[in-house]
């Protein structure tokens, strides 16, 4: 019974530290794992197994692949192709292309790579495209097993209980339905987003 209390206290401490302090999350989680080890709730084998988790290694490789993708001409081509047309067409092209890219690479890297293209767009204010970009990347992550770190973590839980690993395209059909529905919602709502002029850099600190 006392172990459940200790786990609850650790979880509350982690959440409090993440919200109220500026301590690096890696240090917070490492400290919590150390305390759990000292309390005898986990052993050294359990700690070590998480550092060699196949899903974690896959995520690291995805980040490296995403960094390489930023150096290719693919991002430049996507940037040019989404820069023309009316706002609804741009949001649709941006949503589909971003979703496809993020289904095979790291979501954050895709967003970072395309922010430059949105900033250089002369036809539409970046403030109307950044939120659709973010949501499209999130929705694209649901298309494949490696599309988002959440899918990889779920797959590691499945493997830990002795079940077969999820297939690469296991979530694709559900993900496609969610993606199409999301893009159809983003297109009309994008017209209601603020129209900020990107010529004044002080007004756009998120760049």
Query: By residue range, what is the domain housing residue 30?
Result: 1-52
Task: Say yes or no: 110 and 165 in one domain.
Answer: yes
Q: Which of 80, 146, 154, 63 is nearest to 118 (CA)?
A: 80
CA separation for the pair 35, 46 (Å, rounded): 14
Question: pTM score, two decimals?
Answer: 0.64
Q: Taking 80 as the threshold, does the pLDDT of residue 108 lie above it?
A: no
Q: For residue 207, what pLDDT is reported?
A: 45
pLDDT in tens, 44-99: 777 666 666 666 676 677 667 666 666 666 666 666 667 678 889 889 988 998 89
Task: Say yes or no: 63 and 125 in one domain.
Answer: yes
CB 180 within 8 A of CB 102: no
- Banded model confidence at residue 37, pLDDT cuts 50, 70, 90: confident
Task: Say yes or no: 180 and 117 in one domain.
Answer: yes
Task: Say yes or no: 162 and 97 in one domain.
Answer: yes
Task: Say yes or no: 100 and 34 in one domain.
Answer: no
**3-state DSSP call for residue 29?**
helix
Task: Say yes or no: 58 and 46 in one domain.
Answer: no
Task: Say yes or no: 138 and 38 in one domain.
Answer: no
Task: Say yes or no: 28 and 126 in one domain.
Answer: no
Instruction: Give the number of domains in the chain.
Output: 2
Task: Say yes or no: 58 and 152 in one domain.
Answer: yes
Task: Say yes or no: 45 and 59 in one domain.
Answer: no
The neighbour count for residue 136, using CB atoms within 10 Å, is 30
Task: Say yes or no: 112 and 193 in one domain.
Answer: yes
Task: Say yes or no: 183 and 136 in one domain.
Answer: yes
């Amino acid at each position: 019974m006392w172990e459940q209390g200790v786990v609850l206290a650790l979880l509350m401490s982690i959440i409090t530290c993440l919200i109220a302090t500026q301590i690096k999350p890696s240090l917070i989680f490492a400290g919590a794992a150390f305390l759990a080890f000292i309390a005898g709730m986990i052993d050294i084998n359990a700690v070590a197994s998480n550092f060699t988790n196949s899903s974690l290694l896959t995520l690291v490789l995805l980040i490296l692949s995403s960094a390489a993708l930023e150096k290719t001409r693919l991002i430049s081509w996507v940037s040019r192709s989404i820069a023309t047309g009316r706002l609804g067409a741009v949001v649709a092209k941006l949503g589909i292309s971003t979703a496809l890219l993020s289904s095979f690479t790291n979501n954050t890297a895709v967003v970072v790579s395309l922010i430059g293209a949105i900033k250089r767009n002369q036809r539409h204010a970046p403030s109307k495209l950044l939120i659709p970009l973010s949501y499209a990347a999130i929705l694209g992550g649901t298309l494949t097993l490696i599309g988002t770190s959440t899918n990889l973590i779920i797959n590691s839980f499945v493997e830990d209980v002795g079940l077969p690993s999820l297939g690469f395209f296991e979530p694709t059909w559900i993900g496609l339905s969610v993606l199409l529905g999301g893009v159809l919602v983003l297109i009309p709502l994008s017209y209601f987003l603020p129209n900020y002029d990107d010529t004044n850099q002080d007004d756009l600190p998120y760049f």
